[in-house]
Structure 1
Amino acid sequence: MISITEAYVDSVALNAAASKNGRDLVKKNSFPLLCRTEDDTLLFGECKGSGSEPYRCSADFLKPEGPIFRCSCPSRQFPCKHILGMLYAYAGGKPFAVAEVPQDIQDKRDKASLREEKKKEAGATEGSEEKPRRRQTNKSALIKKIVAQLEGIGLADKLLTGIVQSGLGGVDKKAVQMMADQVKQLGNFYIPGIQASCRALLLELQTDGDRESMYTAAIPHLTVLHSLLKKAKEYLERRMADPDVTPMDTASVLEEAIGHAWQLAELKELGLVDNDAALLQLSFRSYFDSSREEFVDEGHWIRLGTERIHMTRTYRPYRAAKYIREEDSQFQLVQIKELFVYPGELNARVRWEDASYCDPNSEDMKMVQSQARCSFSEVVKQVKNHIKNPLSDKHPVLLLAYREIVSVNGQYALVDEQGKQIPLADISYLNHATTSLLPLLKQDDLRNGAMLVMFEHDFQRNALSAQPLSVVTGQGVIRLLY
């Protein structure tokens, strides 16, 4: 069984409200029955509810990497507050009576075991080189969808052309309202990514205040949207001509930029899975994406044994946010059997289903430091080439090894072993200052360390800026953004 701490229970809670409600149940002594099995693989109990019958909840850790939570309550939030309360009770040292596995849970365990056996029997025989069968493409349905997507792209292209022809100076409130209606129509054409890009442009055009600043902010959106529409049209036309000859694009983020939501089964079928990976989170933040109308929980992780910085993103639509688990900072080392890697570039997005957790030790931290990029000249060249691509992420994140952190007239910079510098500054994208925290670092942390930074191209200065996200030391990770 895994170690159940309050931090672990916080991590499985959907959101802060669910966590608070679970804690409140413990404070109110709402659990007349709390039990555990002798091997500690199962916790179960009863919680007082509004009715005459208590709610029966359980947490099955027979497979620690994939615990199963059950509750008889009708809540749409899962794990519900009753399960969380039971886990908080265990983490807080409440007494749990030793008991046998209830028969209904034992029956569920037996059925799950039987399903696993059937899966093994249905798999390839021992020593066979046979690969899983690929799913057959429904060509008629695919072509029908692509026709609709191309129609939507045509509508978006007319919208963009109208803005360019009239000029940004000619965009008044009436034009903005008409564009808002057109952007709303794009929701009917299976291109949510393109719709979000159009909405992002529209939000800039709706900004009150200095018109010159609005023009400057809108131009990058126009450039990205123009490139996206052009590449999406060419790609979809090729796919429609022959879906078998032109498979889904896994070499870039184009599919996701159009609006495709990758399924784990697709990623596995396409070979985008790595085995036995270990990840350590170096930064985390939550924010609201107005263009997508979603809350986003974003983490940046380093994969031990490599210099790759991966990204995790959980999207929670505004209207359904309370029913989707809210991610939080993760301070433990995550060991993953199957790591699903989305198509991407410098900071490819990853996801996993089952994992085990342990506290990182000093050797792990030394390994992370050793994986930081050492040559700033090569880093700057790589970042510049990356952001030149209109569809690439304009805010790549890298871990940099520095000889020292220096300050001249209040301007901080990282210095590498060759004396090359990368200036540190707060970037507009994050909208959260961190450079002001650098003076709080210990003197030992200012030399021979590693820093996770996010880059941004400053159009006014025509230069790169990097904002510090965290500092990696031999003892752990000092998070500046949280």
Structure 2
Amino acid sequence: MPNITEAYVDSLAPNAGAIKNGRDLVKKNSFPLLNESPDGTLLFGECKGSGKEPYRCSVDFVNEASPVFRCSCPSRQFPCKHALGLLYARAMGSPFTAAAVPPDIADKRDKAEKREEKKKDAAASEGEAPAAKRKVNKSALVKKIASQLEGLRLLEKLVQQVVQSGLGSVDKKTVRMIEDQAKQLGNHYIPGVQAKLREFIHTMQAEGDREAIYSRALEQLLFLHSLAKKGVSYLTKRMEDPELPMETDSSLEEQLGHAWQLAELREYGRVQPNVELLQLSFLSYADAARGEFVDAGWWADLGDGTIRSTRHLRPFRAARALKEEDTVRAVVRTEELFVYPGEAGARVRWESSTQRDAHEGDFSKVKATAASSYADVVKQVKNIIKNPLADKTPVMLVAYRSIDETADGFCLRDAQGKLLPITDLASNGRKTSSLIALLGEKELRDQAALVMFSHRLDDNRLSAQLMSIVTDSRIIRLLY
């Protein structure tokens, strides 16, 4: 059984409401019966409900990385507040009595064990031969690609039309026309392109400084133009030879709209074994163009210091039924880390994991991997941003000798005395510069900072925003 802390239980809850409700059950003494199995792999008990009979709930840790939640309540939320309350009771120090595993749970364990044995037997019967490559329906693939190419060519004509007319000529009538085009793209299997076009529409409809809006819109048009051009070139080659492997050296497939399956990532060798990750920053925001909430996390690989990212997507219409991600303060350990195709800060995902408390050695290890030369960092960031389809807000961990205040604002200073100006980026809607004044003298010197970069088209300069401070003993989160 893992070390059950309140933070660990918080990480399992589907949303903030479930956290509150689960904690309230413990505070109200709603558990007249709290038990655990003699081997410590099962917590089970009874919780008072609205009916005459209490709800029977349990959390099974036979597989520590994938706990199984069970409850007799009718809630569609998973895990329900009763199962969470059971865990909060353990985390908050409520006494549990040793008791035998209930017969119904023992029976379910046996059935699950038999299913696993069948899987192992099937795998063993196949020997050590690698998994067979998925068969491709060439005819269906060619038809799909033909439709995608048609959609991209429609986009090319639209972008050319807007550029020739000028952004100043984009009125309400033009916006409606572009919206109709965006709807048409929905029939061409390129949802990623469709979402990017909707982002452009949202930008043109925004209120505020028109110069800033046009700069943002121009950048989006450049992206759409490059996506259409590279997409046509790539898909044309795949149409000529359907046996060609999918693009994995960049995020082009995902930008077109492909949803990578874990089986595909495994097939292309994008799996890393036995990885430990420490979350450095977390941010939730609403993406109106895509119609979804995004729970974004930035992590450091404790093995080599590589910065990774996670994105948990919750469509507006189904947000209540989906688990809401939150800050993770523990170290996450997974036997298989799936790495999505992409450039710096590639997105990752895992199926199962365990957690352990983070200690000072973890923080020191991460801090030691921070880039020490700002000249090298700026060069690397510029090379990333030069790619029209790359992430325009790359995130990097940089070391600093000090955080200084100048006439133009705060800046980071490296060991060579080079300065990196600090600002607040409009792209994430959060301000962190004002929090620098709250840092202590120790945090202002000889530490590391996770920063998000952005390129300003108006003056062709890089901007950087502080996300977190990493010291030898803790992480101070500023972007939240």
With the shorter chain as reference, the TM-score category is over 0.9
Distance 2:35 2:83 in 1: 13
Determine whether 1:211 maps to 2:210. yes
Question: How big is the alpha-carbon RMSD for the aligned residues of Structure 1 and Structure 2?
Answer: 1.8
Determine whether 1:149 maps to 2:153. no
Please list the CA deviations of residues 29-56 of structure 1 after superposition, one character each: whole Å capped at 9, or x if unmatched: 4434332212221112233444454433
Q: Is the 8 A contact 2:7 2:329 kept in 1?
A: no
Quote the offset at 1:305 in angstroms.
2.8
Secondary structure at the aligned position of 1:443 is classed as coil
Distance 2:193 2:102 in 1: 51
Distance 1:271 1:142 in 2: 22
- Aligned counterpart, 1:330: 328
The aligned amino acid for 1:102 is P
- Aligned counterpart, 2:187: 188
Structure 1 pair 396–172 and aligned structure 2 pair: CA distance change class (3 A): same
Q: Is the 8 A contact 2:55 2:72 kept in 1?
A: yes
Q: Is the 8 A contact 2:3 2:356 kept in 1?
A: no
- Does 88-97 or 328-337 show the bigger shift? 88-97
The aligned amino acid for 1:104 is D
- Aligned counterpart, 1:35: 35
Distance 1:357 1:257 in 2: 32
Q: Is the 8 A contact 1:305 1:371 kept in 2?
A: no
- Aligned counterpart, 2:106: 106
Quote the offset at 1:166 in angstroms.
2.3
The aligned amino acid for 1:387 is I
Please list the CA deviations of residues 403-427 of structure 1 after superposition, one character each: whole Å capped at 9, or x if unmatched: 2222212522222222222111111
| TM-score where L is the length of structure 2 | 0.95
Quote the offset at 1:80 in angstroms.
1.4
Determine whether 1:456 maps to 2:450. no
Determine whether 1:60 maps to 2:60. yes
- Aligned counterpart, 2:247: 249
Choose the corresponding residue for 1:389, options 362, 387, 390. 387
What are structure 2's unaligned runs of at least 5 residues? none
Quote the offset at 1:120 in angstroms.
2.3
Q: Is the 8 A contact 1:413 1:423 kept in 2?
A: yes
The aligned amino acid for 2:288 is S
Secondary structure at the aligned position of 1:188 is classed as coil
Quote the offset at 1:210 in angstroms.
4.2
- Does 436-445 or 22-31 show the bigger shift? 22-31
- Aligned counterpart, 2:309: 311
Quote the offset at 1:158 in angstroms.
3.2
- Aligned counterpart, 1:436: 434
Determine whether 1:173 maps to 2:180. no
Distance 1:118 1:78 in 2: 27
- Aligned counterpart, 1:416: 414
Superposition pairs for residues 203-282 of structure 1, below 5 Å?
203-244=202-243, 246-282=244-280
Quote the offset at 1:129 in angstroms.
4.8
Determine whether 1:24 maps to 2:24. yes
Quote the offset at 1:310 in angstroms.
0.3
Structure 1 pair 412–235 and aligned structure 2 pair: CA distance change class (3 A): same
Secondary structure at the aligned position of 1:474 is classed as coil
- Does 175-184 or 380-389 show the bigger shift? 175-184
- Does 442-451 or 59-68 show the bigger shift? 442-451
- Aligned counterpart, 1:362: 360
Please list the CA deviations of residues 275-321 of structure 1 after superposition, one character each: whole Å capped at 9, or x if unmatched: 11111111111000111111001111111131310001100001111
- Aligned counterpart, 2:288: 290
Please list the CA deviations of residues 213-239 of structure 1 after superposition, one character each: whole Å capped at 9, or x if unmatched: 332221000000000011112211211
Please list the CA deviations of residues 233-275 of structure 1 after superposition, one character each: whole Å capped at 9, or x if unmatched: 221121122121x211110000000011111111111110001
Query: How many residue pairs were aligned?
Result: 480
| TM-score where L is the length of structure 1 | 0.95
Please list the CA deviations of residues 181-234 of structure 1 after superposition, one character each: whole Å capped at 9, or x if unmatched: 221232222211101100000111112344333322210000000000111122
Quote the offset at 1:91 in angstroms.
2.1
Please list the CA deviations of residues 62-92 of structure 1 after superposition, one character each: whole Å capped at 9, or x if unmatched: 1211111122333322111221122222222
- Does 401-410 or 191-200 show the bigger shift? 401-410
What are structure 1's unaligned runs of at least 5 residues? none
Distance 1:16 1:421 in 2: 40
The aligned amino acid for 1:285 is L
Distance 1:340 1:87 in 2: 29
Determine whether 1:401 maps to 2:413. no
